[in-house]
Structure 1
Amino acid sequence: MCRCNPRFPTRGIFVNQQPTRCGYIAIVGRPNVGKSTLLNHLLGQKLAITSRKPQTTRHNMLGIKTEGADQIVFVDTPGLHSGQDKAINRYMNRAATSAARDVDAVVFVVERARWTEGDQLVADKLSGIKCPLIIAVNKVDQLEDKSTLLPQLQALAERHPGAEIVPVSALRGVNLDALEEVILRHLPQGPHLFPEDQITDRSSRFLAAEIVREKIMRQLGAEVPYEVTVEVEEFVREDKILHISAAILVERSGQKRIIIGSKGERIKQIGTQARQDMERLFESKIMLNLWVKVKSGWSDDERALRSLGYRDE
Structure 2
Amino acid sequence: MSDHEPYRAGFACFVGRPNAGKSTLTNAIIGSKIAITSNRPQTTRHVVRGILHRPDSQLILVDTPGLHRPRTLLGQRLNDLVRATWSETDVVGLCVPADEKVGPGDRLITKEIEELKAKVIAVVTKIDLVSKSDLARRLMEVAEMAPFADVVPCSAVSGENVETLVGVISKLLPESPQLYPDHMITDEPERVMVAELIREAALEGVRDELPHSIAVVVEEFLDEESEGAERKRIYADIYVERPSQKAIVIGKGGSRMKQVGTQARREIAKLLGTRVYLDLHVRVAKDWQRNPKLLQRLGF
TM-score band (shorter)?
A: over 0.9
Specify the alignment match of 1:183 in structure 2: 169
Task: Select the residue among 93, 99, 103 that pairs with 1:107.
Answer: 93
Alpha-carbon contact 1:109-1:138 (below 8 Å) kept: yes
Cross-structure match for 1:157: 143
The counterpart of 1:270, out of the listed 260, 270, 276, is 260
TM-score under structure 2 length normalisation: 0.94
Check conservation: 1:135, 1:164, Cα contact below 8 A.
Answer: yes
Normalised TM-score (structure 1): 0.90
2:282 counterpart of 1:295: no
In 2, are the aligned partners of 1:219 and 1:270 still within 8 Å (CA)? no
Shift of 1:76: 0.5
CA distance in 2: counterparts of 1:278 and 1:15, whole angstroms: 40
C-alpha contact 1:31 1:80 (8 A) present in aligned 2: yes
Could you tell which deviates more after superposition, 258-267 or 293-302? 293-302
> How many percent identity over aligned positions?
39
Query: Is 1:96 paired with 2:82?
Result: yes
1:155 to 1:17, Cα distance in 2 relative to 1, 3 A? closer
Q: Is the 8 A contact 2:197 2:267 kept in 1?
A: yes
Mean Cα deviation higher: 204-213 or 215-224: 215-224
Q: How far off is 1:123 after superposition? A: 1.6
Show the counterpart of 1:170.
Answer: 156
Q: Counterpart in 1 of 2:207?
A: 221
Q: 2:272 is aligned with what amino acid?
A: F
Letter in 1 for 2:146: H
SS of 1:281's equivalent in the other structure is helix
- Equivalent of 2:23, from 17, 36, 48? 36
Task: Supply the distance in 1 between the matched residues of 2:140 and 2:258 (Cα, whole angstroms).
Answer: 49
Letter aligned with residue 140 of structure 2: Q
> Aligned to 2:204, what secondary structure does the other structure show?
helix
How many residues align structurally?
A: 295
Moved over 4 A (4+): 14-19
Structure 2 match to 1:137 = 124
Unaligned runs of 5+ in 1: 1-13
**Shift, 1:228, TM fit:** 1.0
Matched position secondary structure for 1:159: coil
In the alignment, the residues of structure 1 paired with residue 25 and residue 181 of structure 2 have an alpha-carbon distance, to the nearest angstrom, of 23
Tell me, yes or no, if the aligned pair for 1:81 and 1:121 is still in contact at 8 Å: no
Q: Distance in 2 between matches of 1:231 and 1:106?
A: 31
Partner-residue secondary structure (3-state), 2:193: helix
